[in-house]
């Protein structure tokens, strides 16, 4: 692997997603990061950069053994978590992590998002679970996130934020935006009372509909 910025299209698409995440106000300051699976490893945003200012050449290639290229910027401190998800979930093509306001609010209160709305199924289950707290950038946090994903494509992270994956950067971001919207809706419900939660049977029906015909055909991620 050379540092001649390979994976041109993947870099451009991931960069576009990072800019959209910033425009959607999901990643205040220099928080938030995103990655995409590529041949031999992943591309991930660099540490300490505001998502809106990241350029395609700034993205860091990390191979499957965790090595970066000479001369590359330092990768996001959360790269262990991204790497662990790619290993545990072969269907993950891209990952978005952010400290979006309402998802983080619930995560700081130690709450999951229960089935207060049928769209919870968009993450792949009848709730959006909460990963136990661990220090950012650690293998313990990566393990906690893998556990909380629990057959789903998104989870909250205690005292931290949220993480979502999809088959492409666009789909991962779309899910993170939906998780944030669901978190905001749940926060609003809690200010007025306790929402009625959908039953297991009701959610199973929704999950079956989503898996049968609720999804659009997915665009294969093009590499290089
Ligand atoms: Zn974070």
Strands (E), 89-188: 94-98, 130-131, 154-157, 161-166
**Whole-number pLDDT of residue 28:** 86
Q: Is 36:43 a contact under the CB 8 Å cutoff?
A: yes
**Distance of alpha carbon 152 from alpha carbon 141, whole angstroms:** 17
Q: Is 24:177 a contact under the CB 8 Å cutoff?
A: yes
Residue 206, token pair as written in the block = 């929704």
Domains of the chain with bracketed CATH: 8-214 (3.40.225.10)
Q: Which has the closest alpha carbon to 34: 173, 132, 186, 194?
A: 173
Query: Which of 9, 16, 20, 78 is labelled catalytic?
Result: 78
Q: How far is the CA of 189 from the centre of ligand 1 (A)?
A: 26
Check the CA dihedral 23-26-29-35 and report its sign.
negative
Those residues of the chain that have pLDDT short of 50 are 1-4, 214, 223-224
**Whole-number pLDDT of residue 69:** 87
78 is catalytic: yes
Q: How far is the CA of 214 from the centre of ligand 1 (A)?
A: 31
Region at 211 (left for phi over 0; alpha for psi -120 to 50; beta for the rest): alpha
Angle at 78 between CA 168 and CA 60, to 5 degrees: 65
**Whole-number pLDDT of residue 3:** 47
Q: How far is the CA of 97 from the centre of ligand 1 (A)?
A: 6
What's the pTM value of the predicted model, to 2 decimals? Answer: 0.91
């Amino acid at each position: 692997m050379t540092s001649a910025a390979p994976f041109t299209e993947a870099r451009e698409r991931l960069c576009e997603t990072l800019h959209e995440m910033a425009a959607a106000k999901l990643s205040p300051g220099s928080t938030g990061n995103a990655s995409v699976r590529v041949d031999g490893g992943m591309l991930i945003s660099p540490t300490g950069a505001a998502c809106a200012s990241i350029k395609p050449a700034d993205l860091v290639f990390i191979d499957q053994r965790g090595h970066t290229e000479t001369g590359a910027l330092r990768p996001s401190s959360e790269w262990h978590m991204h790497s662990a998800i790619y290993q545990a979930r072969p269907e993950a093509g891209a990952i978005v992590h952010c400290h979006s306001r309402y998802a983080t609010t619930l995560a700081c209160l130690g709450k999951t998002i229960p089935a207060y709305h049928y769209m919870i199924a968009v993450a792949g289950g009848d709730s959006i679970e909460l990963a136990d707290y661990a220090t950012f950038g650690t293998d313990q946090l990566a393990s906690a996130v893998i556990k909380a994903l629990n057959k789903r494509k998104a989870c909250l992270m205690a005292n931290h934020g949220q993480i979502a994956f999809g088959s492409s950067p666009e789909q991962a971001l779309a899910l993170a935006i939906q998780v944030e919207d669901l978190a905001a809706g749940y926060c609003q419900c809690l200010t007025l009372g306790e929402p009625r939660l959908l039953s297991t049977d009701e959610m199973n029906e929704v999950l079956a509909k989503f898996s049968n015909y609720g999804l659009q055909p997915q665009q294969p991620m093009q590499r290089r």
